[in-house]
Amino acid sequence: MSYFTHRTNPDPFLLAAAGVGLAAAGVGLALWQRRRNADRPAFPTDAPHWTKERKSDRALFGKSLLINRPREELFAAWDAKRFPEFMENVVAVEEAGDGVSKWTIKAPAGREVTLVNRITETIPGESIFWQSTPESDIANSGEVRFTDAPNGRGTYVSLILAYDPPGGTLGRLGAKLLQREPEVQARRDLHRFKQLMETGEVTSNASPSARSSETATQPHI
């Protein structure tokens, strides 16, 4: 009797365990397939370097967005004076002369970090490269690149960033969970730059709700 009862009402935990087992088998198979493929010489790719799989201590991140404005206009707007308009986590940018700037940035758990970066190369209308100096709290380097999009579509703007995550991989994961990780911040800031350039304002969903923790003028997730 109990045998049939079990058959018609399978234990949800057993079902879940079976599901986990299937998933694990799938992951194992994928890893095995991947290792097999790793022995094969790779054909040189045309993909941007930041999209390649790689092993590195530095977190490398790149994001490109199509912005429906001319390249020169966007290059001119990428100016430290305007950064607080669209970089949500940038508290202040101070110019220290000689291409060096000091950035105060919001970090997880209400802290602030200071980045000291030097612009190492500027190609007018095309690219700005930077590299952190030894005083910087976080070692980082990066590039912002402006490329014409085809057929009058505007400009591809690429933000490429490499940095040493404080606390290593775990620290990075924690910062991601707190939405204060540089990759998350940079991607969102790039979207805000696009919104500002295309629409003249930074998009906000600020509107009322029946949640007492929110106001009608603050954006929410």
Partner 1 sequence: MRAVTWQGRHKISVETVPDPEIVNPRDAILRVTSTAICGSDLHLYDGYIPGMRAGDIVGHEFMGEVVETGAGSTLKKGQRVVVPFTISCGQCFFCERQQFSACDNSNPSETRDASELMMGHAMGAAFGYAHLTGGYAGGQAEYVRVPYSDVGPVVIPDDLSDDDVLFLSDILPTGWQAAVNADIEPGDTVAVWGCGPVGLFTIQAALLLGAERVIAIDHFPTRLALARKYGAEVLDYREVDVREALDEMTGGIGPDACIDCVGMESHGFTVDNVLDQVKAKFYLGTERPHALRQAILACRKGGRLSIPGVYGGFTDKFPLGQLMEKGLTVKSGQTHVQRYTGELLDMIRDGKFDTVSLISHHAPLEDAAEMYRHWHDEQNSYTKIVLKPGLPKGAIEAVQEMAHA
Using CB under 8 A as the binding criterion, the count of chain residues that bind partner 1 stands at 32
Residue with smaller CB distance to partner 1, 114 or 195: 195
113 or 184, CB closer to partner 1?
184
Closer to partner 1 by Cβ: residue 102 or 187: 187
Footprint of partner 1 on 43-102 (CB under 8 A): 66, 68
Cα separation of 48 and 162, whole Å? 14
The Cα–Cα gap between 201 and 39 comes to: 50
**CB-nearer residue toward partner 1: 122 or 209:** 209
Structure tokens, 62: 């790149």
- Smallest separation (angstroms) from partner 1 to the CB of 24: 19
- Per-residue b/e over 25-60, b at no fewer than 16 CB within 10 Å? eeeeeeeeeeeeeeeeeeeeeeeeebeeeeeeeebb
In one-letter notation, the amino acid at residue 93 is V
Give the binding site for partner 1 (CB under 8 A). Answer: 66, 68, 153-154, 184, 187-189, 191-192, 194-195, 198-211, 215-217, 219-221
